[in-house]
Amino acid sequence: MAAAKSIKKIGIIGRGAIGVNIAFNLQSTKNIHTTLLIRGHYDRSEVLSLLTPDGVTHSIKCKQEYISKGSLQPLDLLVLPVKQYQIESLLREITEKLGPKTTVLLLHNGMGGIELVQKYLPNNPLLVATTTDGVYKISPICFVQTAVGQFEIGVINEQDMDQEDAEAEDITATKTIEKQHDSTWDYLSYLHPKLFWRDDIIFALYQKIAVNAAINPLTALKNCKNGELVNYLEEVKRVKEEIFDLYEFMNLPLDNHALSLHIDAVIELTKENYSSMHQDFQNGRETEVEGILGFLLAKGQETGMKMAYIQQLYEQITILRK
Ligand code: KPL
């Protein structure tokens, strides 16, 4: 059993698939106490289970507590694996309850969350992460892991928000940053078996938003698994091309060819998975389209870039949901 140097308390908001998967990753680590922080309408005595790709069903043995000052104050780290459109109301709920020393880890598809955390929790250290894990919820207490992806994490400082204007430098290949982060955060390596520190996390987010824009809306509209996008290659190509044009225009130091291969690799890696937007859209729930396509379209507007196909997908997702 792996052990963190000193006892650390990690809280994870909600009982969503990504958060429960992190709780599973942490459960064999000595000295890390994990709590799932849930809302009142859940029954916290319920035992959660996770089916891994080797066919084994694991029970998640961690504490579940309701969100309160008492459950939030002692935390060293609070993970927010919530949907982009849920972040603001959650922050309003926790802002008075969380101490200023707790590190906040934001983990969501799309963009827009960083500014909100900086607004509501200006004194808390902020990390942001992105993952390509394939994991989904089949009932409020049963979860299925279809693929173990990567987990990229980085520290957000004020100046990171201006990084888009940084000098072009080819950063497409994922760098494993040895010591870019404070050693007090060493215990975070237990969050995921394939965790990489990135000093350019903002660009990793742009990379991830491209992945989500190419996969999620099309799988939702075509009602298919990620892997079935091989039947819609022309559509995927159109989304990619519009994103690449935008990123070039924005001067983002991302290599189009490498990004295109990365998107294809994620489709293959998560081929058995229904994307998160597919699940939300097909179940009539609110989707993350605003934080993904809406964000790209807004960037397009700022730069005068027309993205006709992305606009069309955005409208289909928003209109068909109503
Ligand atoms: O992030 C995802 C999502 O579904 O939101 C991918 C990587 C596309 C996996 O399905």
Which residue's alpha carbon is nearest to atom 5 within ligand 1?
A: 276
Side-chain half-sphere of 157: how many Cα atoms within 13 Å?
7
Please tell me the predicted confidence (pLDDT) of residue 322: 54
Residue scoring higher pLDDT (301 or 171): 301
**Ligand 1 centroid from CA 278, angstroms:** 9
Residue 266 main-chain phi, psi, to 5 deg: -70, -40
Instruction: Indicate if the pLDDT at residue 159 is higher than 60.
Output: no
What's the pLDDT tens digit per position in 266-293? 999 889 888 989 989 998 999 999 999 9
**Ligand 1 centroid from CA 156, angstroms:** 23
pTM for the complete prediction? 0.84
Ligand 1 atom closest to Cα of 211? 8
Please tell me the predicted confidence (pLDDT) of residue 160: 53
Q: Averaged over 45-72, what is the pLDDT?
A: 94
**The two three-digit tokens of residue 216, written as one number:** 């999620």
Token pair 């100046």: residue: 159
Residue 99 main-chain phi, psi, to 5 deg: -75, 160
Q: Averaged over 199-209, what is the pLDDT?
A: 92
What's the pLDDT tens digit per position in 23-40? 999 998 989 999 999 987
What region, left, alpha or beta, does residue 223 occupy, with left being phi > 0 and alpha being psi -120 to 50 degrees?
A: left
Please tell me the predicted confidence (pLDDT) of residue 294: 95
Residue 35 main-chain phi, psi, to 5 deg: -130, 135
What region, left, alpha or beta, does residue 142 occupy, with left being phi > 0 and alpha being psi -120 to 50 degrees?
A: beta
Rounded CA-CA distance 109/106 in Å is 10
Q: Averaged over 146-160, what is the pLDDT?
A: 82
Which residue's alpha carbon is nearest to atom 10 within ligand 1?
A: 275
**Ligand 1 centroid from CA 135, angstroms:** 9
Q: Which domains does the chain have, with CATH numbers?
A: 8-199 (3.40.50.720), 205-321 (1.10.1040.10)
Rounded CA-CA distance 259/244 in Å is 9
Sequence-separated (6 or more) residues with CB below 8 Å from residue 283: none
**Ligand 1 centroid from CA 257, angstroms:** 20
Q: Averaged over 155-180, what is the pLDDT?
A: 47
Rounded CA-CA distance 193/199 in Å is 19
Ligand 1 atom closest to Cα of 212? 8
Ligand 1 atom closest to Cα of 276? 4
> Cβ < 6 Å from ligand 1: which residues?
109, 132, 134, 211-212, 215-216, 226, 266, 270, 273, 275-276
Instruction: Indicate if the pLDDT at residue 178 is higher than 60.
Output: no
What's the pLDDT tens digit per position in 228-252? 999 999 999 999 999 999 999 999 9
Helix, coil or strand: residue 219: helix
Which residue's alpha carbon is nearest to atom 7 within ligand 1?
A: 132
Task: Check if the beta carbon of residue 9 is closer than 8 Å to that of residue 75.
Answer: yes
Rounded CA-CA distance 242/231 in Å is 20
Task: Check if the beta carbon of residue 213 is closer than 8 Å to that of residue 300.
Answer: no
Nearest to 291 by CA among 51, 149, 111, 71: 111
Rounded CA-CA distance 317/320 in Å is 6
Q: Averaged over 107-112, what is the pLDDT?
A: 86
Instruction: Indicate if the pLDDT at residue 175 is higher than 50.
Output: no
**The two three-digit tokens of residue 240, written as one number:** 């990619």
Residue 167 main-chain phi, psi, to 5 deg: -55, 140
Tell me, letter by letter, the H, E, C secondary structure of 130-156: EECCEEEEEECCEEEEEECCCEEEEEC
Nearest to 230 by CA among 260, 271, 196: 271
Ligand 1 atom closest to Cα of 132? 7
Token pair 């008075």: residue: 96
Per-residue pLDDT band for 181 (boundaries 50, 70, 90) equals low
Please tell me the predicted confidence (pLDDT) of residue 110: 84
N residues, the chain:
322
Helices (H), 50-127: 69-72, 87-94, 113-120
